[in-house]
Amino acid sequence: MFRKSIRQKIIGIAAGLIILAVITSLLSMVLANRVGHLLDELTTKYIPAYGHLARVNIKSLERSIALRRMMGARMMEAAPDQASYTEQLKRFQNLDADVAREAAAARQLINAIVDDPSTPSDNAALGRLDARIEATATDLRRRVNEESARVIQRLDARDFPDAARMMTGIDQLRDEFNDRIDSIRADMLGQVQASAATVIGEQRHAIAISGAVTAIASVLGFVFAMLVGTGITRPVLRLLEGTREVEAGRLDQPISITTRDEIGQLSAAFNRMVERLRQNQRIRETFGRYIDPRVAEGLLDQPALAAADGQRRTMTVMFCDMKGFTRLSEGVTPQGLVKIMNLYLSTMSEPIHAHHGIIDKYIGDAIMAYWGPPFVDEAQQADLACLAAVEMVGRIAGLRKALPELLGVRTIPAECDLRIGIATGEALVGSIGSAFMMNYTVMGATVNLASRLEGANKLYGSRCLISQATAEAGAAVIEVREIDSIVVLGQTQAQTVFEIMGAKGRLTPEQELLRDRYGEGLAAYRAQRWDEALAGFAATLEVVPGDGPSLALVARIEGLKQNPPPADWDGAWRLERK
């Protein structure tokens, strides 16, 4: 019942608007047809008739010029130019026929205007113009032709003085002919202008009528639509407002249902949908607090991410650990330790999020994060990871200052610091776990290498060690120095490791000198030139006293001098612990 009523209302609105549109279109077509008819008469009769009269003037002048050229050809003293005379005579005769033809064409168009009763032309004035054209084109032209024939006879008889005298009379007749034609043209121009004014007036009249009819039809259609559609639009507007509330993220405002028709049913379905969205939002919020929100969104919105089959992709993995955490945890209360951990993890997680990294998990005071498809482009992952590491190192000073304030003490038991390891390479990516619990994570040698590099900072007294692949991929955004070649625990291949010194182009002169001196010492070390290597690292320590990698290699060289490496030593140092 209600469905039929709504359909009838909509069909009624559409039918009424269609009828009004058809009436308006028909009236506009009638008015436009009349304007077109008048415009057609103006362009195909009035203006061409005026053009024919203008060409009568031109042809008459050209006849006079041809006659004078005939006289010039006959009166040449040396020898008459008979060829030129004959050519001009033929042109003279042809131009007379052209004058007659143009005058006849003008009269024909004027008579066609007079004979058309459907246009508001001034038939009396046009009839007078026709009569004047006839008189001028017959009587006066005949007189001009007779005088011109006598001049030609005198020229043929070589009676040049008499021919010249007669030319004066012909000029007077020609001037009279042209004056009459000019007068006729002026009157014809007046008729053209009157016709153009009629067309413009009719066009304005048609526009005014069409506008008035369109306005009336629009008002009637609007009133009709408002009367019929109010009962439909009011619940629709409530539904629209509810949709906007949902779009803005406000899911606690269900819409009221006042009808039992299709819109009422739609409103009820909308409320059920909002309730389902509210439940999903709670799931997402809860889910997103335990794993990275992008992973949570992906697992909910893209079922392919939740598939058990992993994929091998090039990824960049970071491990971050808090130096001095064990000693720090021994000197504070459990509540204080929780505050420290929350502050530390929040402070170090922000740069990772800001650089589009995915935090895989928190392992005590350690952070595991990764970059790569489908979350970032493969070409950008190393850049983003290295920039995140630079910002994390830059936040250490602020963290050290904030911790005592957080605990309400002057000092804390141990000075906190940071150790970061980053590696880039192939890894297994996907949902990994059991039938009871799954985890979307990364696994493989690259992950192990990043973890070992984080631990290797203990050996070298450094903050951020990265693999060679990471250093090469991030060369556009960071400055590094080569630290050593190592074989980490669990692997057999030597890895060249680098330390991030800062963002690209922002090293101080001391840092640049440190990198150069350290590189010299490292080259001598690998060549087993122990004294030269010690001298190089000593120079490094003069630039930056307490440089961890230099101190580590100095201590190692002292041991190697006592126990030289085997002959096939490749310069790589094997780490015996994590």
Assign 411 to helix, strand or coil: coil
Domain boundary among 477, 506, 535: 506
Residue 551: CATH number of its domain = 1.25.40
Q: Phi first, then psi: give them for residue 424, nearest 5 degrees.
A: -125, 130
Q: Are 548 and 578 in contact (CB under 8 A)?
A: no
Domain boundary among 506, 525, 546: 506
Please give the tally of structural domains in the chain: 3
Confidence class for position 132, pLDDT limits 50, 70, 90: confident
Mean pLDDT of 15-24: 78
Indicate if 481 and 411 belong to the same structural domain.
yes
Question: Residue 114 contacts by C-beta under 8 Å, 6 or more apart in sequence?
Answer: 121, 123, 126, 127, 130
In a domain, residue 33? The reply is yes
The β-bridge partners of 314 are: 426
Please provide the average confidence, as pLDDT, over all residues in the chain. 80
Confidence class for position 370, pLDDT limits 50, 70, 90: very high
Indicate if 497 and 513 belong to the same structural domain.
no
Indicate if 502 and 543 belong to the same structural domain.
no
Give the pLDDT confidence score for residue 231 in this predicted structure.
63
Tokens 């020609």, residue located = 174
Indicate if 378 and 468 belong to the same structural domain.
yes
* The two three-digit tokens of residue 469, written as one number: 């692949």
Indicate if 523 and 416 belong to the same structural domain.
no
Indicate if 422 and 536 belong to the same structural domain.
no
Mean pLDDT of 425-449: 85
Domain boundary among 471, 506, 541: 506
Indicate if 377 and 480 belong to the same structural domain.
yes
Query: 530-543 vs 509-526: helix axis angle to the nearest 10?
Result: 170
Confidence class for position 536, pLDDT limits 50, 70, 90: very high
Which residue range is the domain that position 485 belongs to? 310-506
CA 436 – CA 542 distance, rounded (Å): 58
Indicate if 536 and 441 belong to the same structural domain.
no
In the predicted structure, residue 408 carries a pLDDT above the cut 90: no
Indicate if 502 and 523 belong to the same structural domain.
no
- What percent of the chain has a predicted confidence (pLDDT) above 70? 82
Indicate if 436 and 383 belong to the same structural domain.
yes
Indicate if 91 and 169 belong to the same structural domain.
yes
The β-bridge partners of 361 are: 368
In the predicted structure, residue 414 carries a pLDDT above the cut 50: yes
In a domain, residue 238? The reply is no
Indicate if 57 and 175 belong to the same structural domain.
yes
In a domain, residue 318? The reply is yes
Give the pLDDT confidence score for residue 2 in this predicted structure.
43
Give the pLDDT confidence score for residue 1 in this predicted structure.
43
* The two three-digit tokens of residue 400, written as one number: 């050290």
- What percent of the chain has a predicted confidence (pLDDT) above 90? 30
Q: Which of 150-154, 305-309, 493-497 has the highest mean pLDDT?
A: 493-497
Residue 195: CATH number of its domain = 1.20.1420
In the predicted structure, residue 4 carries a pLDDT above the cut 60: no
Question: Residue 3 contacts by C-beta under 8 Å, 6 or more apart in sequence?
Answer: 261, 262
In the predicted structure, residue 518 carries a pLDDT above the cut 90: yes
Sequential DSSP letters for 508-558: -HHHHHHHHHHHHHHHHHHTT-HHHHHHHHHHHHHHSTT-HHHHHHHHHHH
If one compares 190 and 348, the residue with the highest pLDDT of the two is 348
